[in-house]
Amino acid sequence: MTAPLFTHSLQVTARMLFSIAAIAFVVFFLIRAIPGDITDLYVASGDLSAGQQARMRSELGLDAGVFEQFQIWSAQAMRGDLGKSLRFHTPVAAMLLDALPHTLTLTGGALLLGLVLGGLIALLACAFPAGPWRRCVELLNVWSIAMPSFCIGIIAVLVFSIWLQWLPIRGQLLMPIIILGLDVAGQVAKPLYEELMDITRRGFVRTARAKGLSGWKIVQRHVLPNAVAVVISLAGIIFGSLIGGTLTMEVVFGLNGVGGLTFTAIQGRDYPLVQAGITWLAISVVIINQLARMVSVWVDPRLRSIE
């Protein structure tokens, strides 16, 4: 059992490293495929002459070829040096570390709320089929599909911050966590409910029911343990979409997280900061997804055969 699991872990790690390298490569070239750089913004505002622009581009290394720039950046990144912000003249790594706690708090809070709420409603719908919980599953599912978190965020600002004045317009985490948490709950409840109902049709569940166990005890003792791997896989998949939602929520609610920092950097053509922010967000998704797969296989080795 140990050797196949170790081999599988090595394969997952190799895929993860390849994905990270490919993401960094693609992001680097896509950023530089966009016309203009930060010196063009200074020229447009009248702060630089043509000669000053040329000197500034040379000092920043923007006059070198794209491949040469990538070689320099990747060598520095391997040493942990992500360069300096072209606008703020501050080490990019330090800026990301300052912004990271805000993003982790928002993402972790929303993911935890969504998993607990969606999982609990799915369990109740499975344990009590005649109750209202199945309708709640469908309602959450429709909410996550039909209601864009960006639009809900703007409405929440208008209602709770401007009209009712219950919450500050900028810097508060309560509403973003609730909005993203409801979206996650909708993504969790439907597939988990279907998986739980599939498990209830198996023989050992029918045996437990014949022994007179209540619906809740059957779900708690027999159904849920067999669905743990599905919950872990769902959490990994949902994390990817949650990263995008986090970026929009940080922009709407003025949070100083990685998403808001990256958005500001994109507006200012701040190449090192954009590169680091987007790469970090993409790498986070890759790592979480791969870790979720590894844990799922460890919990249920049968999943190894379908990878």
HSE (side-chain half, CA atoms, 13 Å) at 113: 18
- Burial status of residue 173 (CB atoms within 10 A of its CB: 0-12, 13-18, 19 or more): middle
Q: What is the 3-state secondary structure (H, E, C) of 203-228?
A: HHHHHHHHCCCCHHHHHHHHHHHHHH
Number of separate domains in the chain: 1
CB count in 10 Å sphere of residue 306: 6
Residue of 186 and 198 predicted with greater confidence:
186
Give me the count of residues in the chain: 307
Answer yes or no: is 220 within a domain.
yes
Question: Is 51 part of a structural domain of the chain?
Answer: no
Cα 276–Cα 77–Cα 263 angle in degrees, nearest 5? 5
User: Beta partners for 220?
Assistant: none
Find out whether 113 and 185 touch, Cβ atoms under 8 Å: yes
Residues 106-132 pLDDT 10s: 988 998 999 899 888 988 888 787 778
Interatomic CA distance for residues 189 and 134, integer angstroms? 10
**What mean pLDDT, rounded, does the chain reach?**
78
Is residue 49 situated within a structural domain? no
pLDDT per position as a tens digit, 51-93: 776 777 776 677 777 788 788 888 888 887 787 887 777 888 8
Q: What is the chain's alpha carbon radius of gyration, rounded to the nearest angstrom? A: 24
Q: Check pLDDT > 60 for residue 154.
A: yes
The answer to whether residue 61 is domain-embedded is no
pTM of the predicted structure, to 2 decimals: 0.78
Q: Which CATH number does the domain housing residue 165 bear?
A: 1.10.3720.10
Cα 292 from Cα 239, distance rounded (Å)? 10
Find, among 104, 137, 305, 126, the residue nearest to 200 by Cα: 126
Residue 40 lies in a domain: no
Distance of CA 31 to the CA centre of its chain: 21
- Residue 177: pLDDT band (50, 70, 90) is very high
CB 182 within 8 A of CB 143: yes
> pLDDT tens-digit profile of 207-232?
666 666 666 666 666 666 667 767 77
Task: List Cβ neighbours of 228 (8 Å cut-off, separation of 6 or more).
Answer: 299, 300
| Residue 249 lies inside a defined structural domain of this protein | yes
Q: Is residue 41 part of a domain?
A: no
What is the residue range of 207's domain?
2-34+82-306
DSSP, collapsed to helix, strand or coil, labels residue 24 as helix
Asked if residue 20 is part of any domain, the answer here is yes
Say yes or no to pLDDT of 158 above 80: yes
